[in-house]
């Protein structure tokens, strides 16, 4: 019962299945940008594109919050040398549709989708964050989450290694407001009851393979919980090292063993230390 309650808590307040990274295919032949008349507002690293003149204040806020999120996320994953990369013609577009109906119609996203990021999709040829106006969680969740995905994709784009989906989703959620403490409290009873997703399954899992909403929710919560554990237990510099090793083309387990040398040598080590940590409170 405790476990079910904590899942209910997770579903209610914490996590939304994230369509980021899915390419947008199967939409009509014309590009969305050609069908809407957008007004551009340009910043250092972003261009906000919106459709209604009275959304100008929202666009200004989006631009400011996006720049803040960009600086913070680059710092959090140790990618500060990257800060001049998204400038001029490399600026990321934030496409703001006026409402959910036009967003869904033009992008072909699922009805539950509130925003997504893409690089070079058929619909939008550049790096984009696409969302719609009127959502309370735009600045606290959608924008930082999707910008984190774009930064991670760029950071790891040229490497041979495949970044586990859970690591990417864990970092993206880390950038959302107020998630750290919530996920710790939510995951503790799940781990105590032995109901987390076993790491030998979890390590290559795609949330789209999961059948139920509870399982998807657990996947996201577990992803964030492990990232929070790594950063809080072993520090930011080891976490930077993990991404440096991944960028150098190592497999995830090899990168993990080098970043957490002598402490965590495998996913099995990570699992047992993560469980022990959750049980120690």
Contact positions vs Zn ion (CB under 5 A): 18, 20, 169, 172
Q: Are 150 and 73 in contact (CB under 8 A)?
A: no
For Zn ion, the closer of residues 223 and 264 by Cβ is 223
Q: Give the nearest residue (CB) to Zn ion.
A: 18
Q: Which is nearer to Zn ion, 55 or 169 (CB)?
A: 169
Closest CB to Zn ion among residues 174, 191: 174
- Using an 8 Å Cβ cutoff, are 107 and 27 in contact? yes
Whichever of 6 and 173 has its CB closer to Zn ion, that residue is: 173
Inter-residue contact 223 to 169 (CB < 8 Å): yes
Closest distance to Zn ion from the beta carbon of 149 (Å): 6
Q: How far is the CB of 165 from Zn ion (least distance, A)?
A: 9
Structure tokens at 143: 């924008």
Find out whether 222 and 195 touch, Cβ atoms under 8 Å. no
- 155 vs 257, beta carbon nearer Zn ion: 155
Q: How far is the CB of 161 from Zn ion (least distance, A)?
A: 19
CB neighbourhood size of 205 (10 A): 18
What minimum distance in Å lies between the beta carbon of 59 and Zn ion?
23
Residues 6+ apart with CB under 8 A from 67: 43, 44, 45, 46
CB of 281 to Zn ion, least distance (A): 27
Classify 161 as helix, strand or coil.
coil
CB nearer Zn ion, residue 20 or residue 155: 20
Q: Is 132 left (phi over 0), alpha (psi -120 to 50) or beta?
A: beta
**225 vs 257, which CB is nearer to Zn ion?**
225
Minimum distance, C-beta of residue 116 to Zn ion, in the bound complex (Å): 8
The angle at the Cα of 118, spanning 117 to 120, to the nearest 5 degrees, equals: 160
Instruction: Give the strand order in the sheet containing 92-97.
Output: 39-42, 46-50, 92-97, 127-132, 115-119
Please, what is the minimum distance in Å from the beta carbon of residue 42 to Zn ion?
26
């Amino acid at each position: 019962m405790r476990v079910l309650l904590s899942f209910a808590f997770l579903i209610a307040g914490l996590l939304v299945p994230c369509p980021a990274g899915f390419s947008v295919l199967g939409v009509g032949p014309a590009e969305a940008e050609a069908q809407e008349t957008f007004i551009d507002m340009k910043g250092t690293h972003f261009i906000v594109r919106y459709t209604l003149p009275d959304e100008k204040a929202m666009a200004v806020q989006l631009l400011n919050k996006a720049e803040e999120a960009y600086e913070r996320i680059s710092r959090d994953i140790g990618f500060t040398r990257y800060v001049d990369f998204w400038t001029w013609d490399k600026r990321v577009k934030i496409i703001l549709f006026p409402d959910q109906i036009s967003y869904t119609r033009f992008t072909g996203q699922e009805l539950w989708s509130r925003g997504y990021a893409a690089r070079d999709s058929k619909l939008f040829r550049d790096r984009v964050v696409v969302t719609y106006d009127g959502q309370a969680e735009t600045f606290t969740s959608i924008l930082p989450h999707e910008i984190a995905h774009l930064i991670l994709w760029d950071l790891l784009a040229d490497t041979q290694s495949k970044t586990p989906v859970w690591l990417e989703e864990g970092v993206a959620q880390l950038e959302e407001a107020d998630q750290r403490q919530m996920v710790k409290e939510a995951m503790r009873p799940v781990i105590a009851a032995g109901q987390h997703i076993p790491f030998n399954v979890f390590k290559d899992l795609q949330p789209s393979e999961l059948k139920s909403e509870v399982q998807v929710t657990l996947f996201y919560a577990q992803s964030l919980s492990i990232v929070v554990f790594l950063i809080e237990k072993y520090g930011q510099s080891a976490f930077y090292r993990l991404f440096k090793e991944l960028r150098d083309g190592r497999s995830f387990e090899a990168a993990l063993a080098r970043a957490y040398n002598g402490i965590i040598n495998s996913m099995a080590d990570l699992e047992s230390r993560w469980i022990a940590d959750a049980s120690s409170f």
